[in-house]
């Protein structure tokens, strides 16, 4: 159950990464039918902390607050790559995982989890600038260099800044369902789920355009997930050759048109399984899979479970409602 959330800070914390955690879990959205989290900001190094932006933070909670948290988030900070961390903090993080709580890092916060021994034998994500250093410093960590986030046995690690949003929304979706995650994403005006990895942010072979060239095609696809489409048809909508369109699509989304479409269809199927009484066959048709067998195949590959099992897990008798609108679309 995800109710009690604490974010723990060290000297030199990065305000944006802290803000990501505060935005997802620290706002009271009960007036929108979304859950309320008992949220706290905790200091591991005294009541006043510096930030890398040049201002200070006064923090009233200490490490005792971590003992009751369902989730402990560790934002990025200055010089986290090479510094030592308070032993009391590392012990508290280990105890949290041992008692079944979730620990989540944003960007360089992953080095805190590594120092606590929580990456040993686990897959983990880090900013592309830090992956080699993380592997060298914690050789038992299984560093995935090109993903946005990793969830491995109660330890969630995310890459650079915005990937922290992806990781937080993933956890909300996992614990409370797509309707809640999408409601929070809609309020934040961010995608409820991003496909692709970090490769799209490391290097861009073509000059950056003034606007994304496939945005219009993505918007059209989201409205027509139940239609069979080809790359040639999508390229024509973007006024490009199929080869150029496929290359631009990869650059701007980090994945292929086919895989992006599959991911969006699976996401829509999850929402329908949670929020409607449609049969699996009907869900398959509405989500663009055509039939239940195809849905089961792709759903299993993406989620590791069957549509029926997913519905049993996430279709609670009284689901949290969200603002009206097309499911999962911003």
Of the residues 188, 223, 246, the one at which a domain ends:
188
What is each CA distance from 201 to 40, 129, 144, 147, 286, in whole angstroms?
32, 11, 15, 11, 33
Assigned domain for 194 exists: no
* pLDDT value of residue 72: 98
- Return all residues near 196 (Cβ < 8 A) that are at least 6 apart: 148, 253, 254, 255, 260
Specify whether 61 is located in the same domain as 176: yes
Q: Assess whether 172 and 300 both reside in one domain.
A: no
Does one domain contain both 158 and 10? yes
210 shares its domain with 313: yes
Half-sphere exposure of residue 270: CA atoms within 13 angstroms, side-chain side: 28
Alpha-carbon span 85 to 79, nearest angstrom: 11
Report, as an integer, the average pLDDT of 81-98.
Answer: 96
* 150 part of a folded domain: yes
**Residue 199: inside a domain, yes or no?**
no
- On whether residue 195 sits in a domain, the answer given is no
Hunting for tokens 């009484």 — which residue is that? 277
Q: Cα 24 vs. chain centroid, distance in angstroms?
A: 11
Out of 35-49, 78-92, 171-185, 241-255, least confident range: 241-255
- Write out the H or E segment, with its range, that includes residue 71: strand 71-74
Domain boundary among 159, 188, 217: 188
Task: Give the pLDDT of residue 316.
Answer: 52
Same domain, 38 and 164: yes
CATH of the domain at 121: 3.40.50.880
For residue 224 the two structure tokens come to 């027509």
The answer for residues whose C-beta is within 8 angstroms of residue 92's C-beta and 6 or more apart is 8, 63, 66, 67, 72
Report CA torsion sign: 166, 168, 174, 178. negative
- What pLDDT, on the 0 to 100 scale, is given for residue 178? 86
The verdict on 106 and 236 lying in the same domain is no
Residues 6 or more apart whose Cβ sits within 8 Å of residue 134:
110, 111, 114, 119, 124, 126, 141, 143
Give yes or no: residues 256 and 166 share one domain.
Answer: no
Structure tokens at 65: 């607050």
- Indicate the average pLDDT of the chain: 87
Neighbours of 205 (CB within 10 A): 6
Please state the domain count of the chain: 2
**Any idea which residue has 């027509």 for tokens?**
224
pLDDT beyond 50 at 328: no
Q: What is the pLDDT of residues 54-73, one digit of tens each?
A: 999 999 999 999 999 999 99
Let me know whether 229 and 174 are in one domain: no
At 19, list the tokens: 């803000």
* Last residue of one domain, picked from the residues 163, 188, 213: 188
Both tokens of residue 68? 């009751």
Residues 86 and 116 in one domain: yes
Confirm whether 196 is domain-assigned. Answer: no
Residue 320 pLDDT: 42
Q: Is the pLDDT of residue 196 over 60?
A: no
- Band (329; pLDDT cuts 50, 70, 90): very low
Range of the domain at 57: 4-188
212 and 184 in a common domain: no
Residues 174 and 233 in one domain: no
CATH number of residue 287's parent domain: 1.10.10.60
- What confidence tier does 327 reach under pLDDT thresholds 50, 70, 90? very low
- Confirm whether 85 is domain-assigned: yes
- Are residue 179 and residue 256 in the same domain, yes or no? no
Q: Is residue 27 part of a domain?
A: yes
Cβ burial, residue 17 (10 Å; 0-12/13-18/19+): buried
Residue 197 pLDDT = 59
Does residue 286 lie within any of the structural domains? yes
- Reading the block at residue 147, the tokens are 């993903």
């Amino acid at each position: 159950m995800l109710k009690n959330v604490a974010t723990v800070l060290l000297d030199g914390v990065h305000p944006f990464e802290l803000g990501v955690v505060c935005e997802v879990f620290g706002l009271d959205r009960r007036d929108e039918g979304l859950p309320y989290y008992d949220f706290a900001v905790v200091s591991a190094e005294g009541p006043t902390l510096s930030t890398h932006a040049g201002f200070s933070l006064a923090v009233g909670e200490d490490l005792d607050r971590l003992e009751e948290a369902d989730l402990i988030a560790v934002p990025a900070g200055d010089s986290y790559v090479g510094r030592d961390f308070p032993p009391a903090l590392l012990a508290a993080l280990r105890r949290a995982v041992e008692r079944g709580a979730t620990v989540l890092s944003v960007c360089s916060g992953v080095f805190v989890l590594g120092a606590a021994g929580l990456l040993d034998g686990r897959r983990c994500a880090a900013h592309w600038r830090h992956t080699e250093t993380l592997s060298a410093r914690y050789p038992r960590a299984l560093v995935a260099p090109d993903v946005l986030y990793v969830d491995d046995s109660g330890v969630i690690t995310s890459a650079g800044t915005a990937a922290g949003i992806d990781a937080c929304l993933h956890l909300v979706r996992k614990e409370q369902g797509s309707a809640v995650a999408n409601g929070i994403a809609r309020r934040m005006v961010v995608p409820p789920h991003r496909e692709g990895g970090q490769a799209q942010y490391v290097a861009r072979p073509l000059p950056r355009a003034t606007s994304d060239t496939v945005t219009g095609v993505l918007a059209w696809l989201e409205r027509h997930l139940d239609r069979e489409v080809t790359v040639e048809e999508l390229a024509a909508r973007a006024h490009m050759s199929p080869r150029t369109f496929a290359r631009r699509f990869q650059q701007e989304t980090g994945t292929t048109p086919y895989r992006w479409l599959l991911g969006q269809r699976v996401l829509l199927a999850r929402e329908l399984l949670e929020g409607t009484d449609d049969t699996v066959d009907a869900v398959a048709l509405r989500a663009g899979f055509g039939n239940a067998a195809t849905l089961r195949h792709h759903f299993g590959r993406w989620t590791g479970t069957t549509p029926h099992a997913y519905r049993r897990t996430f279709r609670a008798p009284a689901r949290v409602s969200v603002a009206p609108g097309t499911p999962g679309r911003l």
